[in-house]
Amino acid sequence: MAKNEKQFVEEITPMDVDFAQWYTDVVTKTDLVDYAPVKGFMVIKPYGYALWEKIQAFFDAKIKATGHKNCYFPLLIPESLLTKEAEHVEGFAPEVAWVTQGGNKTLEERLCVRPTSETIICTMYAKWLKSYRELPYLYNQWCSVVRWEKTTRPFLRTSEFLWQEGHTLHETYEEAEKETLDILQMYKEVCEDLLAMPVIDGQKSESEKFAGGERTYTIEAMMHDGKALQSGTSHFLGQHFTKAFDITFSDREGNLANPYHTSWGISTRLIGGLIMTHSDNRGLVLPPRIAPTQVVIVPIAANKGGVMEKVDEIYAQLKERGISVEVDDRPNYSPGYKFNDWEMKGVPVRIEIGPKDIENNHALVFRRDTLVKEAYSLEGLTDSIADLLERMHYDMLEKARAHRESRTSVAKDMTEFKKALEEKPGFIKAMWCGCPECEAKIKAETAATIRCIPFEQEDLGTNKCVYCGKEAKDMVIIAKAY
């Protein structure tokens, strides 16, 4: 293995040498993504897009099963609509791309390339909605959005990204609140059940909430380097937009009322999270449920009698079982090269099989996550591999959770806080009085931000704000973040 190891060390910068460069190497050298000619824009290559398709399929099935429907709203939004909700325009206007010319003519009104679609969708909802009988509106769209970012990094922050944005209307406050939380739960399932990426769910502070909304709920994951990644947000928007856009319906008593409103989104950013949760110095490590190819079979001495027959047999059985499997029978590459190649690509399981293995009635099975290679009996190999893939999902989830726990500290005051952040960069649990001044000062002094007020509150043995020492309101998770 020494030789392989060396090859990778040369190709991919090790994490502990330069974490940012490690990330860039992994995403570009494993063919997930490339830089586009316009700064800040990315091309999602087929291998990267296959990950997004899996996320789409998983989440789309969940929202459809709960009565949501997809639709499509225009890419371009007139400036006059963007400015209708005051806080919203303040939040988004600075990062908008403007279309000013169409068909060789200067437009009378600038059109923004959607940074998010509340304003255009609310405009249409105002036109459509008449009666409480039509509620709830449970609509979603899959599309791309543009936000003119200054500092970008593939998947994590790019000037254009792919996402889904759900926009729902409800008769009552309670229903809308429930929707917001139900969706957050589905986002948690995308992260934990598909990506094996554990998240903490909670509420954003006032200063971190969606521009124009009432409350934002979030799921926060921890990356390898201890930084937080906001992985999905679900906004309870109350009646802010429905009033600004004059969306009304005649309620059960025949009175005109404004509905309650939610919006929620996950994006290709999740792919960045996936990578910084599981991958290593050899390249990608993909959890089995998201891996486009779950198993690769590498024949050893393929020209020897019986090898390819056995390989084809194993391939057929795995495929029959619904496992996504490939055979690497490229004639001009050595097994060592192939091993490297598939390890870098993060394929969860590799099966090696040659004449000696067949003689011994076994195959060598390599786990990408643990780098452990073991002999598996050819009897019941399909069952063993199916079990292994299932187990790997939970092992990877658990490993990521253990990493998060090992990088989580408790701080009672700012001395403890700064020490923890210095010695063990990661999540810090602390009490907070709830005032934006303390929040801003923590950020100014440490560059760490309140990631969320977790739903699951804990007793930290103090009831004093970590910053001001006054009576605290909530336990919060504070961390540096992407």
**Distance (Å, rounded) from C-alpha 478 to C-alpha 422?**
13
Q: Tell me if 337 contacts a copy of itself by CB under 8 A.
A: no
CB of 204 to a copy of itself, least distance (A): 24
Q: Tell me if 469 contacts a copy of itself by CB under 8 A.
A: no
Contacts of 390 (CB under 8 A, 6+ apart): 288
Pick from 90, 128, 387, 458 the residue near a copy of itself by CB under 8 A: 128
Instruction: Determine which helix (DSSP H) or strand (DSSP E) holds 184, and give its type and residue range.
Output: helix 173-189
Query: Are the C-beta atoms of residues 436 and 476 closer than 8 Å to each other?
Result: no
**Distance (Å, rounded) from C-alpha 109 to C-alpha 101?**
10
CA-based Rg of the chain, rounded to a whole angstrom? 25
Using CB under 8 A as the criterion, what x/- string covers residues 56-75 for binding a copy of itself? -------------xxxxxxx
How far is the first Cα of the chain from the last one, in angstroms, to the nearest whole number? 34
Q: Tell me if 81 contacts a copy of itself by CB under 8 A.
A: yes
Residue with tokens 């986002």: 187
**Distance (Å, rounded) from C-alpha 275 to C-alpha 167?**
29
**Distance (Å, rounded) from C-alpha 227 to C-alpha 480?**
5
Binding residues for a copy of itself restricted to 1-40, rule: CB under 8 A: 34, 36-38
Pick from 89, 120, 199, 229 the residue near a copy of itself by CB under 8 A: 120
Q: Tell me if 257 contacts a copy of itself by CB under 8 A.
A: no
User: Residue 396 corresponds to which tokens in the numbers above?
Assistant: 């990877």
Contacts of 479 (CB under 8 A, 6+ apart): 220, 222, 226, 227, 228, 426, 427, 428, 448, 449, 451
CB of 278 to a copy of itself, least distance (A): 22
Closest to a copy of itself by CB, 95 vs 405, is 95
Q: Which stretch binds a copy of itself (CB under 8 A): 102-110, 180-188, 230-238, 313-321?
A: 102-110
**Distance (Å, rounded) from C-alpha 20 to C-alpha 57?**
30
Q: Tell me if 124 contacts a copy of itself by CB under 8 A.
A: yes
Contacts of 128 (CB under 8 A, 6+ apart): 134
Pick from 111, 307, 347, 392 the residue near a copy of itself by CB under 8 A: 111
Closest to a copy of itself by CB, 168 vs 408, is 168
Q: Which residues pair with 235 in a beta bridge?
A: 216, 263
Pick from 30, 123, 152, 218 the residue near a copy of itself by CB under 8 A: 123
Pick from 50, 181, 308, 327 the residue near a copy of itself by CB under 8 A: 50
Q: Tell me if 334 contacts a copy of itself by CB under 8 A.
A: no
CB of 101 to a copy of itself, least distance (A): 4
Pick from 95, 174, 445, 458 the residue near a copy of itself by CB under 8 A: 95
Instruction: Determine which helix (DSSP H) or strand (DSSP E) holds 89, and give its type and residue range.
Output: helix 86-92
Q: Tell me if 134 contacts a copy of itself by CB under 8 A.
A: no
Contacts of 334 (CB under 8 A, 6+ apart): none
Q: Which stretch binds a copy of itself (CB under 8 A): 5-13, 89-97, 192-200, 461-469?
A: 89-97
Q: Which stretch binds a copy of itself (CB under 8 A): 88-96, 394-402, 410-418, 462-470?
A: 88-96
Instruction: Determine which helix (DSSP H) or strand (DSSP E) holds 69, and give its type and residue range.
Output: strand 69-70
Q: Tell me if 104 contacts a copy of itself by CB under 8 A.
A: yes
**Distance (Å, rounded) from C-alpha 242 to C-alpha 168?**
11
User: Residue 26 corresponds to which tokens in the numbers above?
Assistant: 């992994």
Using CB under 8 A as the criterion, what x/- string covers residues 136-165 for binding a copy of itself? ---x---xx-x-xxx--------xx-x---
Residues that bind a copy of itself (CB under 8 A): 34, 36-38, 41-46, 48-50, 52-53, 69-78, 81, 93-104, 110-111, 113, 120, 123-124, 127-128, 139, 143-144, 146, 148-150, 159-160, 162
